[in-house]
Amino acid sequence: MLSRLSPCSRRIPVRFSSNGSNEPDLSDPKMLALHKMYRPERITPSKRGIDLLKTPGLNKGMAFSLEERQYLGIHGLLPPAFMTEEQQAYRIMTKLRQQPDNLAKYVQLDSLHDRNEKLFYRVLTENVKELMPIVYTPTVGQACQHFGFIYRNPKGLYITINDNSISKIYHILANWHTENVKAIVITDGERILGLGDLGTYGIGIPVGKLSLYVALAGIRPEWCLPVILDVGTDNGELLNDPFYTGLRRKRVRGPEYDTLVDNFMKAATKRFGRDTLIQFEDFGNQNAYRLLDRYKGEYCMFNDDIQGTAAVVVAGLLASTRVTKKKMSQEKFVFLGAGGAATGVAEMCVRQMMDEGLTEEEACARIYMVDIDGLITKNRIKNLGERHIKFAKDLPDTKNLLEIVKTVKPGALIGASTVAGAFTEEILKEMAANNPRPIVFALSNPTSKAECTAEAAYRCTNGTVLFASGSPFDNVELNGKLFKPGQGNNAYIFPGVALGAILFCTKHIPDKLFLIAARMVAEAVSEKSLNTYSRVYPRLKDIRELSVQIAIAVGEYCYKHDLATLHPKPEDMEMFIRQNVYSVEYDDLINATYEWPAKDTKHGFPVPVLRRTSMDDE
């Protein structure tokens, strides 16, 4: 639980220790007082023996001290060796690197998560570049496809269309093992990455997403709850899969579906509080925007596919402007794909260009969108959705992307189509012919769905491209230069936004917060990354610190605009955040003992002689 805060009248900046760490300088009495106020307190667990060893949040394996083993009733239940957490992490990574493929690595990490939570997150945070593609995209997509086969232990809650009432859903939520849930990631499994409808196999997505909440922002695991809404599946292969873990029925749509989502939102906030963060993930296009519009002004919620993707793409574009020396409002953009994610990116680009001085109409005029039926034009106006009308152009209808690029001459080409290879060699060369430093983002997930590879982008543009992808690509060496392609991963955005929203108990999450986060990510890209490696995103190992900075900005904005409900405002925002983030270091499980004054612990206060009548009788 969050610490109670003292009232304050001014913000005092944290003074850090002289060794350069992020620990506050506790020699300062003011800092020491705030540290004691904000820090989480240790509580000796009530569990003992084998039950403690089977609790992932408490288990330390052979890192338990002899005192802990004896006191907690686990002496003799463990091998007699004593290991450090560092030894354990080395052992895990050594074994992990011997696995035959990424799916086997996913299964091993999943097993570690079931046994030892602290060690799992230590391994993940210390090896984030190597392991993030395992616990999340692209390997999580493969894991979801095979989820029925690799399923071991429950990782979240399943709420079905048969549980469609506030009371029934509340009772399911009450079955979760913790009561202090502050962050829920929910999906209905209809659009898992670029893989389509995976039904309840999609539970791997909220599980993986929340793992990144912890690893990349320090959000406490006990605050996190993965949820899947099972309304059936339209995937015929799954309906005939003997391992399938969900309802064997076609997807429910319409009013009954809407009622289920409504009931879930009401039950979740009734159970865990109105300020509970609820992140929507991998909903189908027909529901994603609609549900976001329905709930974002009423609940503390966001849709990462729309808002998170938009923010991270705009962050990459803003970083690219440092190389092209042109503002976004001076560029033209062609989007291949016009689904929820692409439209969200386009709308955030418009907001950024408006902040740079354009009108909404002028900003929309610089964005060209291509969907499955071709370029979105005014000839198609009758069949366009409300969000697409403003991007319709007075141009001939065409499905030929190369023709569009030749006509528009965009500075940036952005792919969110899940059409592998859609950015052909001719298109990439045309982008290079029109721009000294063309911007090409192939964002579709997983890697097999990317519009082009990093190697193709660099080769076809002779290394001039500013490239980013949705899933990771290996480094590319061309003409004696090493290129390190950036991954436009939402993980740069959502952990920090979520951390701020959770700690400051926000009422809801306005779009402006995502634009603020995008600008901070762009500013965090080093000159070396941009100019030496042509990488338009920060290093992955910097994400956790970046998340803290984003959370500070989120908190400041929310207090300024009366969106934060944590009162009073923390006297030192940064220190408050750092004291509440999750540590991957093992905790001492036994509270330190302390002495009382000797006179207050003295035994044997004199008592009068007690007359024992029955004993004295003859």
Catalytic positions = 136, 209
DSSP 362: H
> Are 25 and 45 in contact, with CB atoms under 8 Å apart?
no
- Residue 552's SS3 state is helix
Which spans in 339-400 are helix H?
A: 340-355, 360-365, 386-389
Q: Give the residues across from 334 on adjacent strands.
A: 368, 413
CA–CA gap between residue 461 and residue 467 (Å, rounded)? 10
Q: Any binding-site annotation on 4?
A: no
Q: What is the DSSP letter of 384?
A: -
Torsion sign over Cα 101, 105, 108, 110 = negative
Exposed/middle/buried for residue 359 (C-beta within 10 Å: 0-12, 13-18, 19+) = exposed
Report which of 221, 116, 204 is spatially closest to residue 154, judged by C-alpha positions: 204
What is the DSSP secondary structure assignment for residue 98, as one 8-state letter?
T
CA terminus-to-terminus distance, the chain: 66
Q: Give one DSSP letter per residue of 506-541, joined into a string.
A: BS---HHHHHHHHHHHHHTS-HHHHHHH---S--GG
438-to-35, 203, 237, 299, 451 alpha-carbon distances in Å = 49, 38, 41, 40, 16
Residue 305, annotated as binding a ligand: yes
Is there a contact between 217 and 493 (Cβ–Cβ < 8 Å)? no
Strand partners, 277: 183
Pairing of strands 277-280, 333-336: unpaired
Scanning the structure block, which residue is given the tokens 């001085």? 357
Taking the C-alpha atoms of residue 180 and residue 157, their distance in angstroms, rounded to an integer, is 15
Residue 578, annotated as binding a ligand? no
CA distances from 190 to 64, 194, 250 (A): 44, 10, 12
Known binding residue 489? Answer is yes
Buried/exposed code over 450-486 (b: 16+ C-beta within 10 A; e: otherwise): bbbbbbbbbbbbebebbbbbbbbbeebeeeeeebbbb
In whole angstroms, give the CA distance from residue 284 to residue 298: 21
How far is it, in rounded angstroms, from Cα 168 to Cα 288? 24
Non-local CB neighbours of 30 within 8 Å, separated by 6+ positions: 12
Q: Is 162 annotated as a binding residue?
A: no
CB-CB neighbours of 549 under 10 Å: 18
- Determine phi and psi for 232, rounding to 5 degrees: 100, -175
487-523 b/e (C-beta count within 10 Å ≥ 16 → b): bbbbbbbbbbbbbbbbbbbbbbbbbebbbbbbbbbbe
In the annotated binding site for (S)-malate, the residues are 191, 445, 489
In the annotated binding site for a divalent metal cation, the residues are 281-282, 305
In the annotated binding site, the residues are 191, 281-282, 305, 445, 489
